[in-house]
Amino acid sequence: MRKKIIIGNWKMNLDFESSNYLIQEIISKSENINVNIGIAPSFVLLDEAIKNTKYSKIKVFSQNLSEYKSGAYTGEVSASMLLSIGVENVIIGHSERRSIFNENHSILKNKVENALLHNMNVVFCFGEKLEDRKSNNYFKIISKQLKDSLFNLDVNLWNKIILAYEPVWAIGTGETATPEQAQEIHSFVRNLISENYSKTLSEKISILYGGSVKPNNAQSIFSQKDVDGGLIGGASLDSNHFIDIINSI
Ligand code: 13P
């Protein structure tokens, strides 16, 4: 059975107080829920989030990390810094990092290798833009995103990887992929892993969907056979919505 997980990507939202409050709400409302739950607060909130979630089942993810190990890189946060405060999980390759901060395949490849070198767990995001979907180019784009940043990895390292399909046109737009569109890509990606590694590995990898997942559409997306959970943006900032989504899996 593949691991099912729902992760809230808080992006650049919340502050010290509101983040602590949301964490307490999620912990108390998820006490009797048997699903893997993650939250990804911004860097400055991670230390407190680790402390606040210590006795809960909530896992804390960083939204990013540096491609470099240490040194003169003003403003960057390294894998070892994250580990030193207890953060063992990181999101890499989010489309906002790719498009706004120009993170290309080689930067993302370095980030993944760096995280894995530090034994961190990686959620690797990929997904096509609207123009790629309209031009029917999306299979090619997605193959390239995965091949260029991940398919160089030794098979043994894949037990530290979770994938997240996030079509750019569905992020923060209110326009979600249909369950069939999500399933089509998830199954395509599983085949790619099978071709490049093995069928056994392809069956083991969890693939999450992200992009305008809300309480009213979560169930239909999560019911698809190759969708193993979600990466939730806006709706994860409201504890009731987030819990409703978690309960939909
Ligand atoms: P929304 O759920 O706000 O569309 O964001 C999705 C996302 O980018 C999660 O990483």
Distance CA 54, CA 76 (A): 26
Give the 3-state secondary structure of residue 159.
helix
> What residues make up the domain containing 83?
5-246
Q: Which of 49, 22, 33, 171 is nearest to 99 (CA)?
A: 171
> Residue 231 CA: which ligand 1 atom is closest?
9
- CATH (domain of 73): 3.20.20.70
pLDDT band at 1 (very low <50, low <70, confident <90, very high): confident
pLDDT band at 176 (very low <50, low <70, confident <90, very high): confident
Q: Which residue has the tokens 């040194």?
A: 71
Q: How far apart are the first and last CA of the chain?
A: 14
Distance in Å, CA 41 to ligand 1 centroid: 13
Question: What one-character DSSP code corresponds to residue 55?
Answer: T
Clarify whether 48 is annotated catalytic: no
What does the mean pLDDT of the chain come to? 97
Q: Which two tokens stand for residue 226?
A: 């190759």
Phi, psi of 107 (to 5 degrees): -60, -45
> How many domains are contained in the chain?
1
Distance CA 48, CA 53 (A): 9
Distance CA 103, CA 115 (A): 16
Which amino acids bring their CB within 6 angstroms of ligand 1? 9, 94, 166, 171-172, 210-213, 231-235
Q: What is the mean pLDDT of residues 167-175?
A: 89
**At what angle are helices 43-52 and 16-29 packed, to 10 degrees?**
40
Q: Which of 36, 113, 131, 118 is nearest to 85 (CA)?
A: 118
* Percent of all residues in the chain with a pLDDT value above 90, rounded to a whole number: 96
pTM of the model as a whole = 0.97
